[in-house]
Structures are given as C-alpha cells and as structure tokens.
Chain A
C-alpha cells in the first residue's frame, strides 16, 4: 500500500494538506518556513551543502538533476555573501520554497493548478490532485512508528519538520506514548547532527514568526 517516497519537501507539502478536502493545515508563513528548511535539507542529502556554525557551506556546485533544488543551489551560488542558515530559511520562506515545491509537484501530477476568479483578479492556487496522496507522508510516518520500523534519513527530517511546524498535532496525534518515544529515539540517534541543527533552526524560525505576529 506504500506509495513511493517523494523528495522531502514534496512529502512535507503533502503531509501539510488534509486528505479530506486538500486544505493546507498550516499558515502560509509556517508552511513556507517548513518547505524552506526541507529544500535546504534536500541539498544536504544531495551532498551539495554542509551546515556549520549556523552557516551554510556549498561543498559542490554541480547542479542537481532536480530543478527545484537546482534553483536553490543556483541562488546560493549567486549570493555568496549571504550564508546564515536563518537568512536562507527566511528568504526561501517568502514564497520561493512553496512556489518551487508546488511546481515540482505539479510536474509530477500530484497537485493541480486551480484558478479562482475573484473581485480583485484571478487567484491561482494548487490543490492535491487526489485525496489519497494528500496526508499520505504523515500516515507513512505514523504507520512506521506503530510498527516500530526504522525511518530513512529523509523521513527522519520529515518527522523533525512535522514537529517543528506544529503539524504533529495533526499527524502524530494518535500515537501511543511508546510509539512516540520510538520515533523520538530515532531522531536522537539516527538523524545526522547537521540535519538536527537545520530542523532546530526551522523550529526557532516558526517560534519567532509567532512572536512577531507573522505566523
């Protein structure tokens, strides 16, 4: 029954949409911060980026085969003066990350463009193409936690970002205490420190947005 794993940010996007109506469960700002961190994490998994002392370091400037991460990497290379992780999360969260992820999902047919005519022009938004794909990545984590299975690195980051964005109130709500502990234990032991760090930054950014009334 397992549908295949998508790129991390795509998985987070789908996890953040409810399966019944395809509605986004997060505020646009929080979703943007989560997706921003997810794209940076993808670049770490592609071995293009390292994270050291709150800064990003480009370790390989070869474009990635995937256009979304290639675009972020290109931007990083064009802006060598900006290296703070938090600046990049903030920048990508201004709509860049959401846009890249929505286009990537649209290319693979998992979301559809919907136009809605309003009083002030046409609004374009994306909705999951079918209700079974929305929410699925969250279900996958939940099932794996209830079975006591081990997650791969990408799904561990996804779990971290689910916690950081507050999505766990939807996604992990039904877990028993020991299942939750099994999941947290994996995050502690098996998520590489660099990526733990990145998710920590994402969580702090979400909190700062709440304090500054931007969330």
Chain B
C-alpha cells in the first residue's frame, strides 16, 4: 500500500538535502581558487610579455571573457541534463559520440597535467630568489619544486577537508592584493596611461592567437563550476550565475591589473618584463607601498601557486578516477583511500609524473620559468581551448537530439555563436604557436604541441572503438563517470 494522503508540510527530505547544497558564493570561490589570480597577473602576464613581446593582453582578457560567457550558456545548460558534468569528456561523449569522448579525456589529461607541471616550474623559479632574500639560503629551483611537489602529493592522497576554507581566505587576500597593487601602479613615477593593452586591433593582427591563448590560460578553472550542478541550491540559477560572476570578476581583475602594470612601466613593459620577469608586477607597485606589502605580495604569490597546484592535482586525480570507474582506464584508478575519500591511484600517478618532469628539467638544465612554467601553462591553455571548442560543438549535438527542457537560445543560439568564435580562436592559436612560445616558426614546440594533442585524440578514439568491440558494457558507460552501468568493484564483481 502506498502512503495515505499527508497534510501539506515542508518535506524533511527536501530540506535536509537543500541544507547541504551550495550557493553562488561557494561555487565562485571554488572556481576562482583554481584560476589562481595572482599566479596569472604576476606570473603569466609578465612572462608572456617577455616571451611574446605582445602588449594587448587586457583586451584579450576581455574578449576571451565574452566568448567564454557565450560558451557557458549552453555548457551550464547541458550540465543540468547529464551525469559526470564536471568533466569535458562527458559532454563530448554524449554530444559527439563516445569515441571522441575518450579522445577528449586524453586531451584533458595532458592539458591539466601541463598546468600542474607548469606550476612546479613556476614555484621553483619564483621561490628560489625569494628564499635567498628572506632566509639567505641559496637553493636550486628544483629543490624547492620538489618540496612543493611532496606537499601536493601528500595532500592529494589525504584530501584534507580544511583546505577549502584556507584556499578561500588566501584567494580573497590574493584578489585584494592584486587590486591594491594595481591601483598603486597608477601612482608609479613612470606611469603613463597606455592604449596598447586595450588595442582591439591587435586581436586581428599578427600574434592575436598567442594573446588569446595567454588569456584563456588565465581563465582555466572556470569550467569546474559545473562539478556542482547537482549539488547547487537552484540548478537553473546557482551554477550559471556563479560561472558568469567568476568569468566577469576574473576578466575585470586581469584586464585592469595588466593595463595598470603595462602603463606603469611607461612604454618599457616588454623590456622590463624580460629583465625582471615576475618581479615586474611587484617592483612597479612597491615604491608606493613599501617593503611589507612587497613581502606579503611575494608570500601570497607562492601560496597562489600552491593553490593552483592543489586544484589541478585534484582535477587530474578525479578525471583519472572517473575514467577508472568507467573502465576506460584501468579499474585501479577508480579506487579511493577509504579513510579520506581521495582518488588514490589517480593522485599517485599524477605525482609520479610530476616527479619525473621536475627531475628531467633539473637534469637537462632547462629553464623552469619559460620552458616549464610558461610553455607548460600555454600548452595547457591550448588544450583547454581545444576542449572548450569541441565541447561547444558537443552541446549543439546533444541538444539536437535531446531538445527538451531548454529554450532555443540555450540549445542552439548561444552554442552556435560560441562555436564559431571558438573555432576562430583555435585557428589563430594553432597558427601562432611560434609567437606564443617565442621560438622560430617551424621549430620543435610549434609542431610537437599540436601533434601531441592530435595523437592523443586519435588514440583515444581508437581505444574507444576497441572497447566497443571487446567490452561493450564499458563502452556504453563512457562519459557517465561514477554512474556508468559497468561501474566498479561491486558492479564489476556481479557482471
């Protein structure tokens, strides 16, 4: 017998579940701590100036923000309808077919790992002179990078719950610091308001693709808002609002601070970025703010890099976890540490890769700032740009087959405009890699990076087709993550 009629009263079930759900602010915090504002403003922007010689970065941040906001319309709409919404490959699997989904998963693993490795290089290179200044110890960059690596590796398997609040506090401090330093730039003796950073003409000129990739790199992390699609208070509002707010905040902060920095350098931005590197951001503001602010800025710069490392490590470990649960990667990746809930083997594998990368760079004597931090970051930026572009197409594909529940703007209008803009950006990016990396056209990095992404896509598609033949249950579950029918130990045991 089903239940008898009940008097209208608030459902305890709904109330209890709602209490655990996230509001806009929590999602914005989560997204922005992966974006690591200070790392971008003090790290990526000056290094980018030095390597590419391009100054129109403010307008690039604004342009990319507009494109990402348009992309986000369809992206967050699709997130409401699918399982495993946190991972790009889930969209691709359900919008363009499972084979491309696996291809996208491999691309995502390379892209996020590039960011992760980049942040080790950045941390080591930036911390080494600071440690010499603060403590009088002369350490190699890779020694410091290894310490950061060990910290991330331990936190990765322990999955410390407190880090949410710590990261939020650091993030607010970072944002305030970037704002204050940028305002101080306006009063620098060499300040002259420069039109170059906001020159929209540069977005169609030579080097446009390089600028756009640098800008995309600054936004990476925004795509993680959809992780909470099912956990948000109001699925139709919370995640979309949080995404737009995060993109807008990031855009305004980055555009203003890079304009202020370039202007404060008084026409010498590229030259000074070349000699001072990430110190440029701090040097320009410091004579107005004094030594204490400078030390605080440096300390937050380091914590910002660590926050970025932790975020990317967690993203990578969870990608591997999700793929392990589906059986696309070995099942072992679907294991967690029971006592912490951390995705154990995904985390360990990432740490192993990080260790190898740091050691190889150390042994080969490659430059940690340009060749690891900047090249790694922009390689990741290219990968994420590719993923966003393919996901945008996938959104159209998905809604063409499952149109219910969304209006035409969410299903088709915005995704179509977004796709066209993203395709243009991708084209510019791929043809500008030489400028982006500051190397000769035709030299190794210009073809290694696109080739790597291409090879990964093809092998991903191939692997999916093998799975379709040999393990149809696994194939069916591609993109469904923890909810795939062929999922994991218990279900595997009962198959």
Flag whether B11 is at the interface (Cβ < 8 A). yes
Q: How far is the CB of A41 from chain B (nearest CB, A)?
A: 13
Contact of A80 among B6, B322, B335, B490 (CB under 8 A): B6
Flag whether B98 is at the interface (Cβ < 8 A). no
Flag whether A4 is at the interface (Cβ < 8 A). no
Flag whether B406 is at the interface (Cβ < 8 A). no
Bound Cα distance A210, B482 (Å): 9
Bound Cα distance A199, B84 (Å): 19
Residues of A near B489 (CB, < 8 A) are: 163-164, 166, 168, 203
Flag whether B121 is at the interface (Cβ < 8 A). no
The answer on a CB contact under 8 Å between A184 and B482 is: no
Flag whether A29 is at the interface (Cβ < 8 A). yes
The answer on a CB contact under 8 Å between B11 and A79 is: yes
Bound Cα distance A203, B489 (Å): 9
Contact of B483 among A187, A207, A215 (CB under 8 A): A207
Binds B, one of A5-13, A87-95, A100-108, A129-137: A87-95
The answer on a CB contact under 8 Å between A76 and B341 is: no
Q: How far is the CB of B186 from chain A (nearest CB, A)?
A: 39
Residues of A near B493 (CB, < 8 A) are: 163, 183-184, 187-188
Main secondary structure of the interface of A (DSSP, over half): helix
Contact of A91 among B16, B231, B336 (CB under 8 A): B16
Flag whether B491 is at the interface (Cβ < 8 A). yes
Flag whether B221 is at the interface (Cβ < 8 A). no
The answer on a CB contact under 8 Å between B20 and A207 is: no
The answer on a CB contact under 8 Å between A91 and B13 is: yes
Flag whether B470 is at the interface (Cβ < 8 A). no
The answer on a CB contact under 8 Å between B481 and A211 is: yes
Q: How far is the CB of A157 from chain B (nearest CB, A)?
A: 11
Residues of B near A81 (CB, < 8 A) are: 11
Residues of A near B314 (CB, < 8 A) are: 213
Nearest-neighbor residue (CB-CB) of B484 within chain A: A204
Within 8 A of A (CB), among B285-337: 314, 318, 321-322, 325, 334-337
Interface string of B331-374 (1 = CB under 8 A from A): 00011111111110000000000000000000000000000000
**A82 in contact with B11 given A203-B487, A210-B321 (CB within 8 Å):** yes
Within 8 A of B (CB), among A36-60: 57-60
Residues of A near B342 (CB, < 8 A) are: 215
**A79 in contact with B482 given A160-B490, A213-B227, A213-B314 (CB within 8 Å):** no
Nearest-neighbor residue (CB-CB) of A95 within chain B: B16
Flag whether B228 is at the interface (Cβ < 8 A). yes
Bound Cα distance A91, B12 (Å): 9
Flag whether B230 is at the interface (Cβ < 8 A). yes
The answer on a CB contact under 8 Å between A206 and B482 is: yes
Main secondary structure of the interface of B (DSSP, over half): helix
Flag whether B415 is at the interface (Cβ < 8 A). no
Residues of B near A208 (CB, < 8 A) are: 230, 481-483
The answer on a CB contact under 8 Å between A76 and B3 is: yes
**A211 in contact with B84 given A94-B20, A166-B336, A169-B335 (CB within 8 Å):** yes
Flag whether B401 is at the interface (Cβ < 8 A). no
Residues of B near A82 (CB, < 8 A) are: 11, 13-14
Q: How far is the CB of B307 from chain A (nearest CB, A)?
A: 15
Flag whether B488 is at the interface (Cβ < 8 A). yes
Total number of B residues with any Cβ neighbor in A under 8 Å: 46
Nearest-neighbor residue (CB-CB) of A90 within chain B: B17
Within 8 A of A (CB), among B1-54: 1-4, 6, 11-14, 16-17, 19-20
The answer on a CB contact under 8 Å between A210 and B343 is: yes
Bound Cα distance A48, B342 (Å): 36
Within 8 A of B (CB), among A183-208: 183-184, 187-188, 191, 196, 199-200, 203-204, 206-208
Bound Cα distance A196, B490 (Å): 9
Flag whether B494 is at the interface (Cβ < 8 A). yes
The answer on a CB contact under 8 Å between B231 and A211 is: no
Number of A-B contacts (CB under 8 A): 139
Flag whether A25 is at the interface (Cβ < 8 A). yes
Flag whether A78 is at the interface (Cβ < 8 A). yes
Residues of B near A88 (CB, < 8 A) are: 13
Nearest-neighbor residue (CB-CB) of B14 within chain A: A82
Q: How far is the CB of A62 from chain B (nearest CB, A)?
A: 9
Bound Cα distance A88, B364 (Å): 56
**A61 in contact with B3 given A26-B339, A211-B322 (CB within 8 Å):** yes
The answer on a CB contact under 8 Å between B491 and A207 is: no
Flag whether A30 is at the interface (Cβ < 8 A). yes
The answer on a CB contact under 8 Å between B17 and A207 is: no
Flag whether B86 is at the interface (Cβ < 8 A). yes
Bound Cα distance A166, B86 (Å): 22
Residues of A near B339 (CB, < 8 A) are: 24-27
Flag whether A150 is at the interface (Cβ < 8 A). no
Bound Cα distance A135, B444 (Å): 58
Contact of B338 among A58, A170, A188, A212 (CB under 8 A): A170
**A25 in contact with B338 given A208-B482, A212-B231 (CB within 8 Å):** yes
Bound Cα distance A187, B227 (Å): 33
The answer on a CB contact under 8 Å between B338 and A169 is: yes
Nearest-neighbor residue (CB-CB) of A172 within chain B: B489
Flag whether A75 is at the interface (Cβ < 8 A). yes
Q: How far is the CB of B424 from chain A (nearest CB, A)?
A: 33
**A184 in contact with B227 given A30-B341, A58-B1, A211-B318 (CB within 8 Å):** no
Flag whether A70 is at the interface (Cβ < 8 A). no
Q: How far is the CB of B4 from chain A (nearest CB, A)?
A: 8
Bound Cα distance A209, B482 (Å): 9
Flag whether A165 is at the interface (Cβ < 8 A). yes
The answer on a CB contact under 8 Å between A207 and B16 is: no
Residues of A near B490 (CB, < 8 A) are: 160, 163-164, 187, 199-200, 203
The answer on a CB contact under 8 Å between B321 and A188 is: no
Bound Cα distance A58, B337 (Å): 36
9 contacts between A and B (CB under 8 A): A60-B1, A164-B488, A164-B490, A169-B335, A184-B493, A187-B494, A211-B227, A212-B228, A215-B159
9 smallest A-B Cβ distances: which pairs?
A: A207-B482, A215-B341, A80-B3, A184-B493, A163-B490, A163-B489, A166-B338, A77-B3, A27-B341
Apart from A94-B17, A203-B487, what 4 extra A-B contacts exist at CB < 8 Å? Answer: A26-B338, A26-B339, A164-B490, A211-B321
